[in-house]
Structure 1
């Protein structure tokens, strides 16, 4: 595997939510704390940034040619050309201390997403699914910081992360969309960082960023650790597979929580990285919200 290299210098406070948008041939991601949406065109070497009206946890393409954005106040329709954010759903209007944190899209266009306590203390984070205007709470246990979800290639398994608990869980999705049979998939040992955003490749193996762990890891479908890719920065948040054939792994990173001395020692912290994962990713789906 290639050593991760910095491909875009953004110095994000909390880079997150990378997603390759095939029809745009670009990688989109966010800086949650700085309230930025980023677009990176690797072929042209060009980048663009939009300001969001609140903390933005993720950005995903929708079936109407626009984007869904998970802000602290709820799910918004984002129109890059008009630079507008329009509120569509406020799933946790009664929990102003929460914000939306990570998301993915299933083969039917269902948008799976999680919330979290912005202070990272209370167990107030939950997982939801939004599909064609219908919002459903997953019923999974509440935790402080949710990450994911991510889906197996056939869409039958949902992976969801309890970041502070250092656990990644696996739940079966029935044909009618209900969840059952949750089991522990992987647990991160003390001193190895905290599991952040998960991503599943075309072979059904799960990759997770390790916040404070200087690495991303790949686990096989049984939960066995296969590979660890080391980074020159401590806080690796999430990867996305991109490029025309989905064989490039892009990784967002963060400066959040680093001391002044650590920032000097990690001058690339917060940048967007890329490496050769040795495997293809899954093609993404458009959200039908």
Structure 2
């Protein structure tokens, strides 16, 4: 880790609103907006990225249950990982749901489309420590493949630009895994440990145009950049201990947006870090690359109206 660059300035406080558990930011190329979720509130948010790095929130849609992640299709429909099922928000803002996939004391957490448009989503336990959390791959026909069954808390996901390697986070084990990925079939190769951590907990991740991983470190107030050889290259200090996720956004994908949380922070810690729960942006002098869009699923079976 010697020689890693530590960045302490240049962060922009991007939102006026504070969120309890902001997560899963993505760039919506259909509407040219930033999307993210506030998980326990069940809110799916969207906003415009301004030239000064701030985000003007345009919409907050409540889906009626936890919202673990959001993805977007090329038509502009949004896919949301609800508690046990997937929800679809159409272009008019109406919310519809698919049949439950999970059950019991767990919920969906982070999820993303793969390079073929399938949706991968993991789970976490809502009743204490678990070593049986899952990572699922949901195909375009609605069929489900189980990728992992032994996770403690499934979190960030990402693919390399050539789509050949897939990374995923197991937060409570403080691990990032890597494995080969076959886009044509959705099959995965042998899993190996790519990164381990002694302090903090890896949460969301994204990958830049050079193949470096950016990881939000929950509990440390940091974003870290690692080379494909697992060498720490850069650390960005964030004035919020619970950095939760991150993504490259903007028309040129040259702005890094970072989500944070207030969850599990004491009153004393919140007084010390009053910006906890805000979104931040920074220009990291490197770009992301266009991320996969969701391919769509069969017609949802249950419709309900979202609230704004």
Indicate whether the TM-score tops 0.5.
yes
Matched, 1:91 2:101: yes
SS at match of 1:239: strand
Distance in 2 separating the partners of 1:27 and 1:71: 19
Distance in 2 separating the partners of 1:275 and 1:43: 12
Distance in 1 separating the partners of 2:131 and 2:16: 34
Matched, 1:180 2:189: yes
User: Does the 8 Å CA contact 2:31/2:76 hold for their aligned counterparts?
Assistant: no
Distance in 1 separating the partners of 2:142 and 2:92: 27
Distance in 1 separating the partners of 2:158 and 2:66: 22
Matched, 1:234 2:247: no
| Correspondence 1:16-95 to 2 at 5 A | 16-43=23-50, 46-47=56-57, 48-79=59-90, 81-82=92-93, 84-92=94-102, 95=103
Instruction: Please report how far the alpha carbon of residue 80 of structure 1 lies from its aligned counterpart in structure 2 after TM superposition.
Output: 5.6
Say what the alpha-carbon RMSD is for the aligned residues: 1.6
Matched, 1:125 2:133: yes
SS at match of 1:229: strand
Q: TM-score, normalised by structure 2?
A: 0.87
Consecutive unaligned residues of structure 2, counting only runs of 5 or more, are 1-6, 298-308
Distance in 2 separating the partners of 1:225 and 1:58: 27
Distance in 2 separating the partners of 1:63 and 1:132: 14
Look up the match of 1:134.
142
Instruction: Please report how far the alpha carbon of residue 89 of structure 1 lies from its aligned counterpart in structure 2 after TM superposition.
Output: 4.2
Consecutive unaligned residues of structure 1, counting only runs of 5 or more, are none
Q: TM-score, normalised by structure 1?
A: 0.93
User: Does the 8 Å CA contact 1:98/1:124 hold for their aligned counterparts?
Assistant: no
What do the CA deviations read for 1:60-96 (whole angstroms, capped 9, x no partner)? 10243211000102111113633x321124221xx32
Look up the match of 2:272.
265
User: Does the 8 Å CA contact 1:114/1:125 hold for their aligned counterparts?
Assistant: yes
Look up the match of 2:111.
103
User: Does the 8 Å CA contact 2:24/2:70 hold for their aligned counterparts?
Assistant: yes
